[in-house]
Every structure is written in structure tokens, then in C-alpha cells.
Structure 1
Amino acid sequence: MRRWVVAAAAGIVVAGAVAAVVWWPSGDDSGLPPARARVYADFSACLLTGGQGLASPGAGPVWAGLQDASGDTRIKVSYLTASGPATEANYLPYLNSLAQRRCDVILTAGEPGTSAALAQAAAHPAIRFVAVGGTGREGPNVSAVRVTDHVRGDVAETVRAAARAAGR
């Protein structure tokens, strides 16, 4: 019995030594990919979409433009889908949610989001509103982007300009 206990103890010691060698950090982590952390600017642009999210009419190119602007300015971008009926009254709570999240720029693509943004712009003077494909009405804190073949680039440049104006 005593030999069995000694043999078991020796086996545990050998297994522990092998485990230590296998798990001991070698100091050479060149096989690991580099860290991919991204530091964002203190600036955010938020898109309010229709009930189909990014598949909503006109939302795809606007989202692509936001991602382009984020890529070279490091601003944060996000979107929120307004579910329910496509009415200005239904879009208002979603728009106000983006305002409460302190989005620096709020973009809308088409109606009724654009009407809701125009209705709320005066109540949120510190927020820049960008109405894509809306009625073309502008104000002190409202920019209109016409729907053309260059919507993606126009949106990206409008958001970049807003970030620059804010010092970001």
C-alpha cells in the first residue's frame, strides 16, 4: 500500500511540473494578434430609422455615410429603429430618446422621421439635426441632405462638418 501512495504522489508531482511548463508564460506572444481597441471621440451621431431598421427606405446609404465619418473622425455612431405606425406622433418618443442619450447629431431618413426632427429641433438647440430626404426646410440647427446618388458622401461630410464645428 505504501508503494502505491508513493507512486501516486510522484505522479502528481510530475503532472504538476508538466502543467507548469505547459502553462508558464514564455514571454513570446508574437503569435497573438495586436490589440484592436479603438478610442472614440466624445461625439456621437445617431440615426433614427423606420420600422425595418437599416433596411428601411433610404436608411442604408445614410448608415454607410455615418460609418465613413466614424472611420476617419472616430465619432461614435448608432441607430434606433422606430417601431409601430409610421407617423410623426409615433416617431417623437424615439427621437426624444436619442436626444436624452445626448446624441450630438441626430439623422433621419425620409418621412415621418424628418417631420418629427423638424418639430423638435427648436426644443433641442444644442443638437444638430440632419434630415435626409425631407422637405428641404432648414433652420439654425437643422441641415437637409437631398436624396441623390451621393447621399452616402453627403451624409458623411455633413457629420464630419458638425464634428469639426464642435471641436472634435
Structure 2
Amino acid sequence: MRRGWVVATAVGIVVVGGVAVAIRWPSGGGDGLPPARARVYADFSACLLTGEQGLASPGAGPVWTGLQDASGDTGVKVSYLAATGPATEANYLPYVNSLVQRRCDVVVTVGEPGTTVVAAQAPAHSAIRFVTVGGSGATSANVSPVRVSEHVRDDVAATVRQAAHAAGH
């Protein structure tokens, strides 16, 4: 009989302890801790096509930073894709097409041959905004050329913000 009371008391202590832990567990409520934060993205994306070295490719660093700046205050999702292999138009075409198939709302390229490929492909994809940084400068209605300068970061960010705003984001 005494053994039964010991077991019942032990079970009671465990139950009471569990309830106490559950009540005190951090929930982001009134317990003094900030609520958990998750980044909420807009249903809008900007994709950067870089050279084989990725973000270390010539000119890609400030462009990527500009994309991140635009993402920070608009919620635009940003990503990049590095084209591997030779820097030729024939090699870059599948990478541009990949970003189109991914349904990127904005496709950004830096230098040649990406800007030439975008200039050729843009007319067939009028719903996508293309941003060409440097390169040939050929344009169509949905291509926004950005000059390489000390302001390229700000210019890319402004162009992406404008595209997101025009799309209602």
C-alpha cells in the first residue's frame, strides 16, 4: 500500500512539473522574450545571372548588394545563378532560359555575354523585367539598362524596387 502512495506521489510531481514547465516555456508572449520572427517575402523575385565565379565574378558584388537592399525594404525574394563554362552567348542562353522558367519577375545580368543574350530573349518574355548591367546596352520595352558606375548598387536597387512597385508589391 505504501508503495502505491510513493508511485502516485512521484507521478503527481512529474505532472505538476510538466505543467509548470509548459506555463513558463518561452512563447514570445508576455514572458519578456521577443516573439519569434520569420522573414515574409512578397510573391515577387529578382534573379541575378553571374559568371562562373558566382558573386565573385567581375561586377557581381555591388549588383548583388543592390538586390539585397531592394529585398530588405520590399520583401522581394532574391537569388543568383552562376553560369558555368565558357563566357559565350551559346553557353549563357540556357541559364537565361532557366531563370525565365523559374518565373523570376526580374532577371539581372552583369556584362557580356549575359546582356546580349537578354537583349535577344527579352522581346519573347514581355512579362519579365530584365536589367542589364554594363554590356551592349541594347534595349527593348522590358529591358532596363544600368550603367556601371560607383552608383550601380543604388541603381540596381532602385530598378528592382520600381519593378516590384509596378507589379503591386
Moved more, 140-149 or 27-36: 27-36
Cα separation, 2, equivalents of 1:121 and 1:88: 14
What count of residue pairs does the alignment treat as equivalent? 167
State the partner residue of 1:93: 94
Correspondence for 1:12 = 11
Q: What stretches of structure 1 of length at least 5 have no aligned partner?
A: none
Please tell me the residue identity of whatever aligns with 2:98. S
Return the offset for 1:17: 2.1
Equivalent position SS for 1:24: helix
- Cα distance in 2 for residues equivalent to 1:13 and 1:36: 36
> 1:113-148 CA deviation, whole Å, 9 max, x = no partner?
212212211221221111101112222221211111
Structure 1 outlier segments of 4+, above 4 Å: 25-28
Which residue in 1 is equivalent to 2:81? 80
Structure 2 match to 1:21: 20
8 Å Cα contact 2:59-2:110 kept in structure 1: yes
Q: Specify the alignment match of 1:102 in structure 2.
A: 103
Q: Map of 1:21-100 to 2, 5 A cutoff?
A: 21-25=20-24, 29-100=30-101
The gaps in structure 2 that reach 5 residues or longer are none
Q: Distance in 2 between matches of 1:13 and 1:42?
A: 51
The one-letter code of the counterpart of 2:7 is: A
Cα-to-partner distance string for 1:87-130 (whole Å, 9 max, x where unaligned): 22222111111111211111001122212212211221221111
Name the structure 2 match of 1:160. 161
Q: Which residues of 2 match residues 137-156 of structure 1 at below 5 A? A: 137-156=138-157
